[in-house]
Structure 1
Amino acid sequence: MKSIVLDGFAVNPGDLNWDFLLKFGEFTVYDKTPDEMAAEVIGDCDVVFTNRVKITSAVLDACPNIRYISALGTGYDMIDVPACRARGIEVCNVPGYSTMSVAQTAFSLLLAHAFDLNGYSGLVKDGLWTGMPGVMYQNITFRELSGKTAGIYGCGAIGTAFAKMCRAFGMKVLATRRSKTEGEEDGITYVTPDRLLRESDFLSLHCPLTDETRGMVDRGFIAKMKDGAVLINTSRGAVLNETDVAEALNSGKLGGAGLDVLSAEPARPDNPLLKSKNTIITPHCAWTSREARLRLLDILDANLTSFAETGKGINRVGV
């Protein structure tokens, strides 16, 4: 087989290697590929790996040798899956590789707000601690997590891992789940969305981006939340109505936000969250730990090995 990686820098900036592809035959790795160059770069390859480069019906028509396409991650919205199915092309993704890394990032953002890490660090860097005797209490909201309530909107694998971290700090954990059933399981109390919003001191979003969740966190959603609650989002940026969230942060309705994702990435200069109060933003890096990316490569290997041996990958999409 002849393989090509269209935008390998996204998952491997040089600290890992692509040697697992050697056993499948010839391969080429590009750091980046513009969408409009995809067909030309793919050429006569059988196997295509893409992180964000779009594989459209037109690309498939121009590259009839393609037999297998894999996302370099969990999301596969850049691949025209129905068009692939119509042509008998196998499509796979890589689920589960970053569960612990994303959960750890969400909890790190929660901890940063509970301790007011930015506030304390800012005071010291501004020179307010220099020569000041005693303890500094100015405008700081340091809170113990024990006894506080963590809310999880969408309790799948990442949400469940996040819940374990919260429980280790003595937090009460509430969550919603797709089945909409209430009850307690493994230390997590499953409740209605309204109760989740009403009682959570920290609300962490772990839901997929769908038509139902797009723009979900808007003025009405926030109005149901506990006053001063902290919002954590490591799922998808478009789940938030960013203008409404920024307004709630600036008014004090929300006590803070910890965000690893934005609706448009990289961040646009006019995004209101860049200047909103008590907001920590990281550059969509929750999934990028070395450990997570090594797991990603292992799963890519397993998927392609299965396809080479059986004609079917392990983590198949659109079947």
Structure 2
Amino acid sequence: MKIVLLDAATLANANLASLSTLGQLVEYQHTNKEQVLTHCKDADIVISNKVALDAKTLTELPNLKLICVAATGTNNIDLDAAKQLGIRVCNVAGYSTPSVVQHTFTLLGNLMTNIHRYQQDCANDLWQKSNMFCRLDYPITELAGKNFVIFGYGSLGQAVGKVAEAFGAQVIIAERPNATDIRPGRIAFTEALKMADVLSIHCPLNDETRNLFNRETLDLLKPTSFVINTARGGIVDEAVLVEILTNNQIAGAGFDVLSVEPAQANNPLANYQGHNLILTPHTAWAAKESIDRLVKEIANNIVNFNNGTASNVVV
């Protein structure tokens, strides 16, 4: 059985022994669009994190039986074509929850305490020149007692909520926009945004959530609020957010995702230089332990598929 890993570099030199014991493992650090067919030739199983497999490509891979997505999102696979061709697609869910939760609060903690600015001042010898034992140049805000609004209350949103509560924050679960019924324990979307001291986004990107946080909805936030997005780029209108940050209409934003990745030269958030934005390059998921869990679960998906009991099935 030939197993082809198309973008091994995304697994950060993880131990792939559990995969190599399952067949002939062929690793490619990167695969561009022109190389997909060549790299996948004669493969029984293809593992892809972000390499796109469209309908035309899938029809030219007659040996392909299983696609293992090395992630939760499957938007890089033409699922309809895979289903029509009898190709099983499996993903991995939940593997990165602890890592993403940690990153969420790392972004928020840095913003609320202005650690990034204080650290830079220390590096520039400003503390050494201080006339007292500390520096109090930038505001420091506690999370305790604040309204922590979560949009997207799946397993990840719930895990974030538990940590927010441990900090002493009041967790508020935002209902879907335009919902006719408000579920128990949730607050209407617009009302939740008006209440938010922190807005933490954990929903998938789809037609309903694309640019959901736009001029109209972001204007509902308080000038003291923070926005954290460790979900997907495209959920927040990036150009509008830059305007809002530039005008100090909110206190700050922490983003780990952009609408197009890697970051493009013309991306508004990538170009923004204000101190009230912290941008990281889609690393929230990538703790060593998280990647180890990912590889282990991919191996389990292959074993289960071979045993006729496919797991984490998408199609």
Under a length normalisation based on structure 2, what TM-score does the superposition of the two structures give?
A: 0.94
| CA positional deviation for 1:67 | 0.7
- Whole-Å separation in 1 of the counterparts to 2:257 and 2:184: 31
Q: Which runs of 5+ in 1 are unaligned?
A: 185-189
- Whole-Å separation in 2 of the counterparts to 1:219 and 1:265: 23
Residue 193 of structure 1: aligned partner: 189
| Structure 2 residue 107 is the aligned partner of structure 1 residue 109 | yes
| CA positional deviation for 1:157 | 1.0
Contact persistence 1:155–1:177 (CA under 8 A): no
Aligned residues: 309
| Structure 2 residue 69 is the aligned partner of structure 1 residue 68 | no
Match of 2:24 among 23, 26, 51: 26
The answer to which of 50-59 and 265-274 deviates more is: 265-274
| CA positional deviation for 1:125 | 2.8
The structure, 1 or 2, with the larger RCO (C-alpha pairs under 8 Å, 6+ apart) is 2
The answer to which of 69-78 and 174-183 deviates more is: 174-183
| CA positional deviation for 1:276 | 4.6
Contact persistence 1:84–1:91 (CA under 8 A): yes
* Aligned-pair Cα RMSD in Å: 1.6
Within a 5 Å distance, the mapping from 1:111-130 to structure 2 comes to 111-130=109-128
Contact persistence 1:92–1:317 (CA under 8 A): yes
| CA positional deviation for 1:177 | 4.7
Report Cα offsets for 1:265-316 as digits up to 9, x if no partner: 2222332223253100011000000111111011111111111011x42000
| CA positional deviation for 1:176 | 2.1
Contact persistence 1:203–1:229 (CA under 8 A): yes
| Structure 2 residue 82 is the aligned partner of structure 1 residue 78 | no
The answer to which of 124-133 and 227-236 deviates more is: 124-133
| Structure 2 residue 284 is the aligned partner of structure 1 residue 286 | yes
Classify the secondary structure of the residue corresponding to 1:84: helix
Residue 6 of structure 2: aligned partner: 6
Q: Which runs of 5+ in 2 are unaligned?
A: none
- Whole-Å separation in 1 of the counterparts to 2:58 and 2:247: 50
- Whole-Å separation in 1 of the counterparts to 2:120 and 2:184: 42
Residue 219 of structure 1: aligned partner: 215
Contact persistence 2:99–2:286 (CA under 8 A): yes
Residue 313 of structure 1: aligned partner: 310
| CA positional deviation for 1:155 | 1.1
The answer to which of 238-247 and 173-182 deviates more is: 173-182
Contact persistence 1:10–1:51 (CA under 8 A): yes
Match of 2:246 among 247, 250, 254: 250
Contact persistence 2:175–2:189 (CA under 8 A): no
Contact persistence 1:129–1:136 (CA under 8 A): yes
Residue 275 of structure 1: aligned partner: 272
Residue 148 of structure 1: aligned partner: 146
| Structure 2 residue 255 is the aligned partner of structure 1 residue 263 | no
Match of 1:166 among 147, 164, 167: 164
- Whole-Å separation in 2 of the counterparts to 1:21 and 1:182: 43
Report Cα offsets for 1:197-253 as digits up to 9, x if no partner: 011111111111011111111111111112221110000111111110000011111
Give the aligned residue type for 2:153: C
- Whole-Å separation in 2 of the counterparts to 1:107 and 1:183: 26
Give the aligned residue type for 1:3: I
- Whole-Å separation in 2 of the counterparts to 1:85 and 1:298: 25
- Whole-Å separation in 1 of the counterparts to 2:26 and 2:264: 33
Contact persistence 1:303–1:314 (CA under 8 A): yes
- Residue identity over aligned pairs, in percent, reads 35
Within a 5 Å distance, the mapping from 1:169-188 to structure 2 comes to 169-177=167-175, 181-184=182-185
Residue 187 of structure 1: aligned partner: none
Residue 136 of structure 1: aligned partner: 135
Residue 35 of structure 1: aligned partner: 33
